[in-house]
Chain A
């Protein structure tokens, strides 16, 4: 079972667009879900929507989450905490640019790599 990928952006259009690119470039071998927008439908992120996206992309091999700006990361951390163990330690946030990171992570995941490798591959894109 391959690692799943979740895209979390402040904008639902960005999140869906990144997911489209992943589907087209990587294919259907990885669980994939996206979310974007705050609970009122404006730009922002929602803990509830992030939790649902993680559930949707869930794999027992783990889930790698790609986020855009500040609140997306904080809200994802919150969602992971609420999900709790044992699943929480199978969910990782990638410190990587959202578009390139998602594609690299999904490509690695589609080959059956473990979560740590998927995350490391996405993070190779990040300036230290």
Chain B
């Protein structure tokens, strides 16, 4: 993989995937617990299976340009996660990969990310405010547009995940619970915030951003 404007190298990508898979594995029980409260109790296990599958193909992925690697990783998640989060997180990565030029800067990344989040919304037939992962994905977009550094973006993501606790779920399995969905963090939102934290930490370690 060649050096790009973002300075994302093959090693960076490798570290990122390894760190994401490790974070999901370490938090799988917590994510499943959140999902047991308002969903069907498999989110952590599903995400873990998906990220382990991506990890298993890391050597092959790391030989591809970043956009291609993102597409392939997204496809792997779609094929292995099993729950609705597979197509959703998979669509995020596949769209990012499709929209990113081979050599991208921050602005190009933000533009691609916006299209990717819109694609997730379309896939889930959902929008912000329904107590889903979109309630973290959109605040991340806002933070990046405002020029926040990776740490601030991650902090905004965590705050956004916390903000799903008092929300009433109107989309996804939690919506079946109606008012009883209030008082629990959305598991998809928790996963996305977790991954945003990993991305921020990895970018800082590798780029001193």
Taking Cβ atoms with an 8 Å cutoff, the residues of A that contact B are 38-40, 42-48, 69-71, 74-75, 77-78
Chain A residues closer than 8 Å to B90, beta-carbon distance: 78
Q: Report 18 cross-chain contacts, Cβ distance below 8 Å, ordered by A residue.
A: A38-B42, A38-B46, A38-B81, A39-B49, A39-B80, A39-B82, A43-B42, A46-B82, A47-B87, A48-B79, A70-B172, A71-B83, A71-B87, A74-B123, A75-B86, A77-B123, A78-B87, A78-B90
Minimum CB distance partner of B86 in chain A? A75
> Contact at B42–A44, with CB atoms within 8 Å?
yes
Q: How far is the CA of A43 from the CA of B87 in the complex (A)?
A: 16
> Contact at A42–B82, with CB atoms within 8 Å?
yes
Minimum CB distance partner of A71 in chain B? B84
Chain A residues closer than 8 Å to B180, beta-carbon distance: none
Chain B residues closer than 8 Å to A48, beta-carbon distance: 79
Taking Cβ atoms with an 8 Å cutoff, the residues of B that contact A are 40, 42, 45-46, 49, 78-88, 90-91, 123-124, 172-173
The residue in B49, B83, B172 that gathers the most chain A C-beta atoms within 10 A of its C-beta is B83
> Contact at B87–A74, with CB atoms within 8 Å?
yes
Q: How far is the CA of A6 from the CA of B124 in the complex (A)?
A: 22
Minimum CB distance partner of B75 in chain A? A82
> Contact at B173–A38, with CB atoms within 8 Å?
no
Q: How far is the CA of A83 from the CA of B83 in the complex (A)?
A: 20
> Contact at B83–A47, with CB atoms within 8 Å?
no
> Contact at A70–B87, with CB atoms within 8 Å?
no
